[in-house]
Structure 1
Amino acid sequence: MSSLPAFVVSHPMAVGAPGRPLAWRAGQSVDLATFIAHVHGLAQQLPDGRHAVNLCEDRYRFMVAFYACALRGQVSLLPSSRAPAVVGEVQARHADAYCLGDLALELAPPRYWQLPAELPQAGGPMPQLADDALVAIGFTSGSTGSPQPNPKTWGSFLTSTRQDLVALESLWAHTDAVPHVVATVPPQHMYGMELSVLLPMVTTLAVHAGRPFFPDDVAHALAEIPEPRLLVTTPVHLRALVESGVQLPPLAGIVSATAPLAQDIAAAAEARFGGEVREMFGSTETCVFAVRRTALEAAWTPLPGVRLETQAAGTLVHAPHLATPVLLADMMDVAADGRFQVRGRQADLLEIAGKRASLADLTRRLLAIPGVIDGTIVQLTPDPGQAVGRIAALVVAPALDEAQILAALRISVDPVFLPRRLRKLPALPRNETGKLPRDVVLGLLNG
């Protein structure tokens, strides 16, 4: 007996009327119909290949290239950094991979293809993408080790992004309109992918094409889009906005992720800018799966259908968009109602001389010292013959010397956990999402 062909579930690339805004560029809207024409046009011109590393700086061009690759059946590779060495490693690990971008690069990677200055257009229907189509491979940041690949299907992306929409839509529900988004996080990062590349596909919101960095640039980008406005950012950017004194246009809300957001910064941002600050919790492996209003609460609320299961090695995340549960290294205290608090990563938990602490808590206490602008505390690899690695710190504190920093830490930190090596720097080498790759930190401490 012949078997029936497998039934393939497909989903449209985007929702909404052809004339609805999808993006904003230089104060002008780009409608959905134009975007789809650009996707069809670029898909016809893409080089042949199984994998494409998307290095586009302009968010709209990134979106066009990402969806053109998906239409061609090519998998987009999303490295944690666009540094040449990182891109080269990702490219070398995947067969038949090329790179594409929107700029002429001085140090271009192998098989680099630059998008045309004017994006081509071609006619065609709304593309349909199969539920099980592999559309992207995201890579972890390397903040706790070497970057690891995480494949993403179109179906899993849609399910997780619709969950994000559920978590955020109350921010603008009172306006009877969908928001327009400015994002400071790069689209290559999974958080940036979810909230600025995928979210405009599952609802009718529009996204600004830029990636503003400095506070004045953020204010200018927000002024280029209409209300209601949603700012998608990181703790590093949000702290800079609060401390800069910049005036922002009215906001429906602010979203933060990629690193823990200090409660005082969240409260200050709400007081200064008017919109609620909603922090999202997730990872490259899981995408976003929990949310909280950091100014008012410490516990996280899982998104619908998400269940956490504590393990000796971390926490197992069950979610509708995950084919199988994912084990995270984060240690969590899960309440009976499912809400949870994060105690730190398994690798961050310290036990020295019978006493316990976490690197996350030590870093928080370092950052709370008046005069400390930025900093991080890590545990070094044990020296030969030693069972425990030394504690070390990188600190940005122009007005303080090392003795003053250690004296301030000594007030709230047990002496066994005080940094034995402390290096002051003008600035920490954070990547585009504010994270500190561990190999870079160790290089600075050992240099």
Structure 2
Amino acid sequence: MKPLLRIPASDVPALTRALETALDGGPAVWPLPTAATPAPAAPAPAAPGPTIRSGGAFVPEQGPIGAEFGTNAPPEGNVTPVEVDDRIALVVETSGSTDAPKRVALSADALVASADATHDALGGTGQWLLALPGHYIAGAQVLVRGLVASTPTLTVPGERFDPSAFAATSAQLLPHVPHYTSLVPTQLARLLDAAERDPFIAAALTSFDAVLVGGQALAPAIAERAAAAGVRIVRTYGSSETAGGCVYDGTPIGDTRLRFDDGRIELASSSLADGYLGDPARTAEAFRSDRDGTRWYVTGDLGELAADGRLRVRGRADDVMVSGGVKVVLGEVERVVRAVAGFADAVVVAAPDPEWGERAAVAIAGDAGDEASALQALRTATDAAGLAPAARPVRLVVVDRLPMLASGKPDRRAIAALAAASAG
């Protein structure tokens, strides 16, 4: 067992140093979105058996970081383990597409394997610009890649993403080496908007040899704008459980393999996490081994191989509705909807329907114009895409701002509740 150090993600120099030490076998790192002051540790018995243990000492903690860990947790109050298995180098908390937090434990081997696979896929090492929070796996991996490449990682300053600060910092990157960064779709969209007004930002954005884009689906309209502007984007697919993106532009990188079980995507890779900290039941459900010892991560996504052999993610496995007896993958509907002008950020959810059971509702922030015309345009688009009639949107929910999770992803449960209320 070894210590688990909680480091504020906002202190990038301290986080970088801690990650470097962790990769060399030192204390593991847990990047936090805000600074936390640990209370004195209270002893507790060690947990038996599993590779990832919640035993050692526990620290009572307040706020959203606290949660019970396994059966060794005290019966009352929130607790945080301060020791982890010797293999672990990094712990990241993720809620995925839900509000149920998971603490993903990653070994140094997994982190380095992911970084090496990224550099191989991009054609070599280079210098990275950090534009994402370090408590997310995508941000932490930018720092890890810089450490593996032995090049200093620069950080975009400020608590909120600023295209001007991004451009100014990118101008300080080393010459004569490839330049890389990682963004979420919202950041890319803001940069593209700013680039239309500011040539300096446009030049900065197009100066990168690769701009990784992941975290959520990239709207076709944003991808088309990026291509037209000369931005070299790489669409990534992965999660905290795979140490970040492990499929680039639909193709597995490194030694990643993929397969499907009843349409659900499963991934095998040397970059897989050891499991969930203090949650052996959840770990056993998400990580399974074949008879030959190959470990597979069972994702929450549905997918298939397209005609060109690339992975196509259809949507979340838990985001399927049954309308009139027909199964509809809402992610496929959403992909078509977002390709319609004015709906790039729309979210599609299931809404109750007295006749069909469920029908598709489209939620959008701002002004959708004439709602009847907008709905007709969306129905025409789904028909043209070859989706079943049951997939046609029947309701438009217009709000000032879409509910979001702390991860920056749409809060689909809250949006579904709004859609249900609008039906009343």
| Length-normalised TM-score, structure 1 | 0.66
1:185 aligns with 2:159: no
State the distance in 2 between where 1:316 and 1:334 align: 13
State the distance in 1 between where 2:360 and 2:35 align: 28
Identify if the C-alpha distance between structure 1 residues 197 and 301 changes in structure 2 by more than 3 Å, giving closer, same or farther.
same
State the distance in 2 between where 1:166 and 1:325 align: 22
State the distance in 2 between where 1:408 and 1:281 align: 30
Q: Work out whether residues 301 and 314 of structure 2, in 8 Å CA contact, stay in contact via their aligned partners in 1.
A: yes
2:95 alignment partner, one of 123, 141, 148 = 141
- Name the % identity: 24
| Deviations 1:185-210 (CA, angstroms, capped at 9, x unpaired) | 2111112211x221012112321123
State the distance in 2 between where 1:424 and 1:56 align: 35
1:248 aligns with 2:185: no
Identify if the C-alpha distance between structure 1 residues 386 and 145 changes in structure 2 by more than 3 Å, giving closer, same or farther.
farther
Q: After TM superposition, give the deviation of residue 351 of structure 1 in Å.
A: 3.2
2:163 maps to a residue whose letter is P
Q: After TM superposition, give the deviation of residue 356 of structure 1 in Å.
A: 4.1
Q: After TM superposition, give the deviation of residue 94 of structure 1 in Å.
A: 5.0
Partner in structure 2 of residue 406 of structure 1: 375
Q: Work out whether residues 132 and 154 of structure 1, in 8 Å CA contact, stay in contact via their aligned partners in 2.
A: no
- Secondary structure at 2:203's aligned position in 1? coil
Partner in structure 2 of residue 93 of structure 1: 68
Q: After TM superposition, give the deviation of residue 230 of structure 1 in Å.
A: 2.0
Partner in structure 2 of residue 365 of structure 1: 336
1:224 aligns with 2:172: yes
State the distance in 2 between where 1:61 and 1:392 align: 45
Q: Work out whether residues 52 and 74 of structure 1, in 8 Å CA contact, stay in contact via their aligned partners in 2.
A: yes
Partner in structure 2 of residue 122 of structure 1: none
1:396 aligns with 2:371: no
RMSD in angstroms over aligned alpha carbons? 3.9
Q: After TM superposition, give the deviation of residue 131 of structure 1 in Å.
A: 11
Partner in structure 2 of residue 76 of structure 1: 29
Q: After TM superposition, give the deviation of residue 78 of structure 1 in Å.
A: 4.9
1:206 alignment partner, one of 152, 172, 177 = 152
Q: Which range moved further: 395-404 or 67-76?
A: 67-76
- Secondary structure at 1:88's aligned position in 2? coil
State the distance in 2 between where 1:82 and 1:408 align: 44
Partner in structure 2 of residue 284 of structure 1: 240
Q: Work out whether residues 360 and 395 of structure 2, in 8 Å CA contact, stay in contact via their aligned partners in 1.
A: yes
Identify if the C-alpha distance between structure 1 residues 344 and 372 changes in structure 2 by more than 3 Å, giving closer, same or farther.
closer
Partner in structure 2 of residue 234 of structure 1: 184
Q: After TM superposition, give the deviation of residue 236 of structure 1 in Å.
A: 1.4
Identify if the C-alpha distance between structure 1 residues 368 and 229 changes in structure 2 by more than 3 Å, giving closer, same or farther.
same
- Secondary structure at 2:181's aligned position in 1? strand
Partner in structure 2 of residue 260 of structure 1: 217
State the distance in 1 between where 2:419 and 2:15 align: 36
| Deviations 1:380-423 (CA, angstroms, capped at 9, x unpaired) | 5x69x999455433202425243343232122236644555543
Partner in structure 2 of residue 269 of structure 1: 226
Q: After TM superposition, give the deviation of residue 258 of structure 1 in Å.
A: 0.8
| Length-normalised TM-score, structure 2 | 0.69
1:308 alignment partner, one of 258, 278, 302 = 258
2:120 alignment partner, one of 151, 166, 173 = 166
| Deviations 1:304-342 (CA, angstroms, capped at 9, x unpaired) | 322212102612211123362111122222379964222
Identify if the C-alpha distance between structure 1 residues 440 and 186 changes in structure 2 by more than 3 Å, giving closer, same or farther.
farther
Q: After TM superposition, give the deviation of residue 303 of structure 1 in Å.
A: 1.3
2:203 maps to a residue whose letter is L
| Deviations 1:146-166 (CA, angstroms, capped at 9, x unpaired) | 222321111221122211221
Q: After TM superposition, give the deviation of residue 110 of structure 1 in Å.
A: 11
Partner in structure 1 of residue 8 of structure 2: 55
State the distance in 2 between where 1:235 and 1:187 align: 17
Q: Work out whether residues 300 and 318 of structure 2, in 8 Å CA contact, stay in contact via their aligned partners in 1.
A: yes
Identify if the C-alpha distance between structure 1 residues 192 and 223 changes in structure 2 by more than 3 Å, giving closer, same or farther.
same
Q: Work out whether residues 372 and 397 of structure 1, in 8 Å CA contact, stay in contact via their aligned partners in 2.
A: no
Identify if the C-alpha distance between structure 1 residues 92 and 188 changes in structure 2 by more than 3 Å, giving closer, same or farther.
same
1:62 maps to a residue whose letter is L
State the distance in 2 between where 1:63 and 1:446 align: 45
Partner in structure 1 of residue 107 of structure 2: 153
1:234 maps to a residue whose letter is V
Q: Work out whether residues 360 and 392 of structure 2, in 8 Å CA contact, stay in contact via their aligned partners in 1.
A: yes
Q: After TM superposition, give the deviation of residue 302 of structure 1 in Å.
A: 0.9
Identify if the C-alpha distance between structure 1 residues 54 and 400 changes in structure 2 by more than 3 Å, giving closer, same or farther.
farther
Identify if the C-alpha distance between structure 1 residues 110 and 439 changes in structure 2 by more than 3 Å, giving closer, same or farther.
same
State the distance in 2 between where 1:336 and 1:363 align: 21
